[in-house]
Structure 1
Amino acid sequence: MGRDAVTQALSGEETIKAVRKRQSETLLAFSTGKDAIAAMLAIQPHFDAVHPYYLYLVPGLEFVEESIDYYERFFGVQIKRLPHPSLHRWLNNFIFQPPERCRVIEQAGLPNFEYTDIQAAIVRSEGLQQNMLVADGVRAADSPMRRIAIMTHGPVSYKQLRFHPVWDWKKADLIAAFKKANVRLPIDYKIWGRSFDGLDLRFILPLKKHLPRDYQKVLDWFPLIELEVFRWEKAHG
């Protein structure tokens, strides 16, 4: 029986204990979303150190920096800021880019990379244990596909070097944990009802309305996104 098969029956708490036997420290993919916060609350008491990192879609957004600053102070850790794989992919595919920028982007030769590349880079830079597993906030209750994946493969993936410490948490578990810890959710939930996660209109239009300075920063990187907003505003008066 393989290691992945052994982990299929583990609860979230048992998953944490199993990973703790393997490694004394852990990385955490920290999006500032509710599930990532829950993962941090769940794992921090069990490891000697947690190394969270945030992957930004657009560099330097003020509301993101304010949230990260709050969580750094709340959890007493430093949260690394690194580019999300989507940022380079969007730029390399000229998403919302005017023609005059295309050659500049081509000449920049921005590398495409995957999540595992980010994990490996952090491990090297911090001198951490090789093949360290990374915690995330994936929960089975988020979607039927996630539930099927976790039920099939278990809450630990040695191939992707990931584990899901709160995979079995329900909404009530999140609420109870947040109340007990007295931790707050980021402003994202007031504006979008979820964490900021893309460049489509459902994220960008509220950003322009509520956070105009950050909207301008998005325009600095993706100028033609203004056309998407303009088209919607014209259609809806």
Structure 2
Amino acid sequence: MHHRCATHHDYRRCAVPIVVDGITPSEQIRAELAAEGKPVLLGFSRGKDSLAAWLAMREAGIEVVPYHLYLVPGLRFIEDSLKFYEDFFGTPILNLPHSTLFRWLNTLMFQPPERAAVIEAAQLPEPTYEELADLIRTDVDLPAAWNADGVRAADSPNRRMAMVTHGPKREHLRKVSIVWDWRIADVREALARHNCPLPPEYEWFGRSFDGLDFRFLDPIRRHAPDDYERILSWFPLADLEVFRRDLAR
């Protein structure tokens, strides 16, 4: 299990934070949440932005209750990574199924015909993010906890527009984008300053695991063959995604 480490001299804190008129800076949001003195949930994808969000909240003195939503059960490289971050932060991480897993199964993605009747009979639920957050709040007995994410306005024009339209703090959903005004340089600097490594798949495909298309499947096949077989046990025809690309070469 290897994690890629950022170093202090790689990045310097020279980025100017995103500023949007009428929207509270993230540093102030974190200070206000710290002053409330209550734990805050964090959707933890193990990606760079969710790591930065966790580090920022920890620096602000906020107690973080992290949860991870898995796309395929029992992948070793993800389980090992979660254990690493539990040790790194000294905090247990809830590990629960992502509603996308249920959606993939319900739409029979990469499923052979003989599985269709069983999957359809199961009538798997497809909870929204908000419903999942409410279930987690109930599970950890934090009924009104804020639910934080690492969404940043600088990440894409769509995310900036969403931040301008809805703001980083949505009271009715108890949802907050805790580092909304950070640029990528801020993220890298925070990781470097805390010597916080990225998960191994950043070396494989430049981001955290996020789908069942070729850009994820082929590197997993090469770097984690046991996990690739695990994916195929859930989605047997996913192998065709790789086979089709191999034929095209």
Q: TM-score, normalised by structure 1?
A: 0.92
| Counterpart among 136, 160, 185 of residue 122 in structure 1 | 136
Q: How does 1:1-237 map to 2 (within 5 A)?
A: 8-22=22-36, 24-47=38-61, 49-128=63-142, 130-236=143-249
Tell me the CA shift for residue 144 of structure 1.
Answer: 0.6
1:16 and 1:165 in contact (8 A); partners too: yes
Runs of 4+ in 1 over 4 A off after TM superposition: none
Tell me the CA shift for residue 159 of structure 1.
Answer: 3.1
1:97 and 1:223 in contact (8 A); partners too: yes
Write the deviation string for residues 3-62 of structure 1: whole angstroms up to 9, x where unpaired: xxxx94211111112334456111000000000000000112435521100000001111
Segments of structure 2 that go 5 or more residues without pairing to the other structure are: 1-20
1:25 and 1:47 in contact (8 A); partners too: no
Alignment: residue pair count: 229
Q: Point out the more displaced range, 9-18 or 92-101.
A: 9-18
2:152 and 2:181 in contact (8 A); partners too: yes
Find the aligned partners of 2:231 and 2:126 in 1 and give their Cα distance.
20
C-alpha change, 1:8 and 1:28, in structure 2 (3 Å) is farther
Write the deviation string for residues 61-118 of structure 1: whole angstroms up to 9, x where unpaired: 1111111111100101000000111000010110100010011111222111111111
Find the aligned partners of 2:161 and 2:244 in 1 and give their Cα distance.
39
Q: TM-score, normalised by structure 2?
A: 0.88
Match of 1:4 in 2: none
Tell me the CA shift for residue 171 of structure 1.
Answer: 1.7
Tell me how large the CA RMSD over aligned residues is. Answer: 1.5
Percentage of matched positions with identical amino acids: 47
